[in-house]
Amino acid sequence: MSSPERMVWITGAGGLIGNYLVQTAPLCAASWRVAPITRAQFDLADFPAVRQAFRRQRPQLVIHCAALSRSPECQANPSSARKLNVDVTACLAELASEIPFFFFSSDLVFDGRQGAYDESASPNPLSVYAETKVAAERIVLANPRHTVIRTSLNGGTSPSSIRGFNEELRQAWSAGRTLRLFTDEFRSPTPAVATARAVWELAAQQRPGLYHVAGSERLSRWEIGRLIAARWPQLNPRLEPCSLREFEGAPRSPDTSLNSSKAQALLSFPLPGLTQWLAEHPDEPF
């Protein structure tokens, strides 16, 4: 008799990484029956509805991608940010207390003074968004069955066409805007398809904990912009270099590049740098 098919909940399935997790599941996680959770199905902040659905469907794995992820929106609405990024995570982690649970966090939990952060580095959040991610991480990691994935800028194609960093750049250029991009703010950008594949592999290995999963190349915002601009010459992309020293908004972390060697040691494929990946995938709509 064959074993019953296992169900995995993927929250934020209408976003970038969540959508790639759904898309890659047939190849990377064929033994799982995917239940994509989107806002159209139910509001994750409606805790009675979430509990009812969880008890009815009984997933054996939860991958929690949903979040209020726009930092300016979090700064403007800290109570909403805490509810969606911390309270929702706490509810799901409690429901999933006896099963594997994956939570997506961010490189922005660091203040960016150092760069090349590994998992032993201490978070020092500079924004409301980052503060909520740190708070949620602590809740998740209190359960030894659960996993936190810190990632960086992810790119690709999302259902809404605005969730990937590359989509934001293209949208601005399509509107005829000139983008001013920092030459002194560094991240570890990565294609979301690689992030999704890595998460499926880590889930299969059942080795919970804290992992950095990001691109293997440290790039400035300016360098990232030039790479994407070269991909879309038909948009006549316009960009200008600028410095963080000119920025007058909320504090920004200058270098949150990540060291992903811990996760890399467990993966069957190399986490790519953005320059290399773009060169090897010239026909991808990135």
pLDDT value of residue 223: 98
Task: For residue range 71-109, list pLDDT tens digits in order.
Answer: 888 889 999 999 999 999 999 999 999 999 999 999 999
% of the chain at pLDDT higher than 70: 99
pLDDT value of residue 4: 59
For the chain, the domains span 6-159+191-217+257-272
Residue 30: phi, psi to the nearest 5? -65, -20
What CATH class has 6-159+191-217+257-272?
alpha beta
Instruction: For the chain, list residues with pLDDT below 70.
Output: 1-4
Going 187 to 214 to 230 to 238, the CA torsion angle's sign is: negative
CA-nearest of 142, 141, 143, 106 to 126 is 106
Instruction: Determine the Cα–Cα distance for residues 268 and 266; give it in Å rounded to an integer.
Output: 7
pLDDT value of residue 71: 85
* 3-class secondary structure per residue, 113-151: CCCCECCCCCCCCCCHHHHHHHHHHHHHHCCCCEEEEEE
HSE at residue 136, side-chain half, CA atoms within 13 A, is 35
- The two counts, helices (H) then strands (E), for the chain are 11, 12
Task: For residue range 238-247, list pLDDT tens digits in order.
Answer: 999 999 999 9
pLDDT value of residue 159: 87
pLDDT value of residue 1: 40
Q: Which amino acid is at 278?
A: L
28: number of Cβ within 10 Å: 18
Q: What is the pTM of this model?
A: 0.95
